[in-house]
A and B are shown apart, each in its own frame.
Chain A
Amino acid sequence: MSDITPDLFETGAEPAPPPRRSRWRATLAKDRKAQVGLVVLGIFVFGMIFAPWLAPYDPNEMTLDMMGGLSWSHPLGTDDLGRDLLSRILHGTQISLFIGVSTVVIALVIGVTLGLVAGYFGGWIDLVIMRYIDLQWAFPNFIIAVYLVAVFGTGLVNVIVAISLAFIDDFARVARSMTLSLREEQYVDAARSMGFSDARILFRHILPSAMAPIIVQATVSVSYAILGEATLSFLGLGVDATTPTWGLILADGRGFISQAWWLGVFPGLAIMLVVLSINFIGDWLRDVFDVRETT
C-alpha cells in the first residue's frame, strides 16, 4: 500500500513498471524447464492448428505399406492397416488439447462458482455444497470419470462431461478457501457498504483476487485431463473408434508391438511430452503467482 499512495500526490513522478510483467520475465529467464515446456507445447499447438496441412496423409487413409518401419515417406512408420502414424498422431493432437482445455474450462466455471458461493455465503449453503465436494474429493477423478462414462455412454460430448465433472471438486476447494479469507478484506466490506449486489461483489471484487491459485490449478488440471482422455480412449471408453486419439492409437497398436514397436512408442511419447511441458509451465506459474504447492 505504502509504495502506491505517494503517487496520488506526486503526479509528476515516473510511474513504476508494472510489477507482474517483470516477475513473469524474471522467473521465466531463470526457469529452464518452463522455457522447454513453452517451446514444446508451442510446437504441439502449432501441430494442432495446422494438422490438416502438416500431416503428410489423411489419418484414416489405408495404404499397402502395412506396419512399415520408419522411412522418408512415413517418418514414424505405419500401423497394421497401413495408416501413417505421424498423420494420426498430428490429428490426435486436436482432440487431446481440445478435450484437455474444454473440460478444464467447464470444471473451472462450475467449480469456482460453487466454491465462491460456498465460501461467501457460508452457513447451510456452504455445508450442502462442501458435503458434496468432500464426497467427490474422497475419490480418484479417474474412477469418477469412468463411472460417468459408464452411465452416460461414450462419445465426444459424454467424455467431456465426464472429465469436467470429475474435476469440479478441485476448483471448488481452491475457490472456497480463497473466498473465505478474501471476504474479510476491507475492500469487500467497502463494496458491501456501497450496496453492491452479492453477485457483483463475488465476481468483480473477490474473484479477480482469487485468480492466481485458480490459474495454477487449471494448468495442472489440463495435464490430468489430457492423461484422463488418453486413458479413457485407450480403454475403449473414449470419443469413438474412428477418431484417431492418442489413447486409441496406442490401443489399436497394442497387439502389434512385438513386430512394430513404433506403434507402442510414439503416441505415448506425444502424451508424455505434452503433459510434461504443461507440468513445467504449471510449476513456473506457481512461481510467478507465488502459490504454495498443495497436493
Chain B
Amino acid sequence: MSGYILRRLIGAGLVMWAVATLVFFMLRIVPGDPIAAMLADAGSEEAALAMRARLGLDQPLVVQYVYWFLNAFQGDLGNSIYGSNQPVATIIAEALPRTLSLAALAFVIALVIAIPAGILSATRRNSATDNAVSVVAFLGLAMPDFWLAILLIIVFAANLQWLPAIGYVPLSEGFWPWLEHLILPAIAVGTAFSAIIARMIRSSLLEVLKTDYMRTARAKGLGARAIMWSHGLPNAMIPVVTVVGIAFALLISGAVVVENVFAIKGLGRVLIQGILNRDYPVVQGAVLVVSAFFVFSNLVVDLLYGVLDPRIRYS
C-alpha cells in the first residue's frame, strides 16, 4: 500500500511540475507574445522598461524559469500588475476559501441528490421514478451552468426574493448568512455533477445486481436492505468513485464560471478578471492553483480507489 501511495504522490508531483512549466513557457513563447501586449499597456517606453526589469523579463528565459519556479515553490507568485499591485499569493489566498466553500457545498448537495436518485432508479428500473430521474439527468447535463445560475436568480432572488442574488459572506459571520449566499451558486455548480453521478450509480448498481454473489446473498436469506448495504452498494461504488474524480472537473470549471454570475470574488473571478485585465502574473497564479486543486483531488480519488478496491494496489 505504501508503495502505491508513494507512486501516486510522485506522479502528482510530476504532473504539477509539467503544468507549471507549460504555464510558464506558453505565456512567453506563443506568437503575438502576451507579455509584449502587457508591456504595451504599461504606457510610456520607460514604464515598459521598468516593468520588464521588475518582472525579470530582461533575464534569459532559463534564468527566469528557474527563479519563477523557486519563487512559486515558496508561495511567491509575483505581484499583480494591475490596480494596487497586490501580491498574487494574497489575492489567491483571499479568493480560495470562497471557491472551496462553493465547490464543497455543490459537492454535498450533488451527492445528497444523486445517491438516492441513482439507487432508486436502479432498484425500480423502468418505473416512473427511473424515467423521471433519467429526464432530469439529461436536462441537468445539457443546461449550461451559468444559465441555470441565471434562472435560479430570476426565480428565487428577483421574483420570490427568498435568497440574495449576489455576493458572498464568510462562514465566520454565521452559518445561515453563508449558506443563504451560497446555496443558489452551489445548485448551479452541482447539477451537472449530480446528473453524472446519478447515472453512473444507476448503471453500476444494475451491473452489480446481476452478479452471482448478489444471488447467493439472496439465496442465503439475507434481507433486501442488508444485501443492498453490505454487498450491492460497496461494489457498485467502485466505478462511481473514479467517475467522481473525473467529474471534479465539472465542479471546478463550474465554480469558475458560476462565481462570475453571482459576483463571488473566488478563484474563477480572479482568473477571468485577470485575463480581461491582461494581468498575467494573476492569470498564471490562478491557473496554477486551480491545477493544484485538480491534481490533488485526482490524487485523493486514486488513493481512495486503492482503499476500496485492493486489486488496484497490486497492478
Contact = CB atoms under 8 A, between A and B. Distances in A.
The main secondary structure of chain A at its interface with chain B is helix
A235 B260 contact: yes
A254 B143 contact: no
Contacts of A109: none
A294 B26 CA distance: 32
Given A234-B146, A234-B257, A268-B151, A276 B138 contact: yes
B144 interface: yes
Contact of B154 (A142, A153, A257): A257
B276 A275 contact: no
Interface in A123-144: 135, 138-143
B26 A151 contact: yes
A265 B152 CA distance: 11
Given A254-B150, A272-B142, A153 B32 contact: yes
A208 to B, nearest CB: 30
A69 interface: no
Interface residues of A, number: 42
B271 A146 contact: yes
Given A151-B27, A151-B34, A265-B154, A272 B260 contact: no
Given A151-B27, A257-B158, A140 B252 contact: yes
B290 A295 contact: no
Contacts of A265: 151, 154
Contacts of B150: 250, 254, 257, 264, 268
A142 B151 contact: no
Nearest to B26: A151
A264 B139 contact: no
B252 A143 contact: yes
Given A147-B23, A151-B26, A223-B142, A140 B261 contact: no
Interface of A: 33, 135, 138-143, 146-147, 149-153, 223, 227, 230-231, 234-237, 247, 250, 254, 257-258, 261, 264-265, 267-268, 271-273, 275-276, 279-280, 293, 295
5 contacts: A143-B249, A143-B291, A264-B154, A272-B144, A279-B142
Given A135-B19, A276-B139, 15 more contacts: A135-B18, A139-B291, A143-B252, A143-B290, A143-B294, A150-B274, A150-B283, A223-B142, A231-B146, A254-B261, A267-B147, A272-B147, A275-B141, A295-B196, A295-B243
The 3 lowest CB-CB distance pairs between A and B, nearest first, are A268-B147, A140-B249, A142-B253
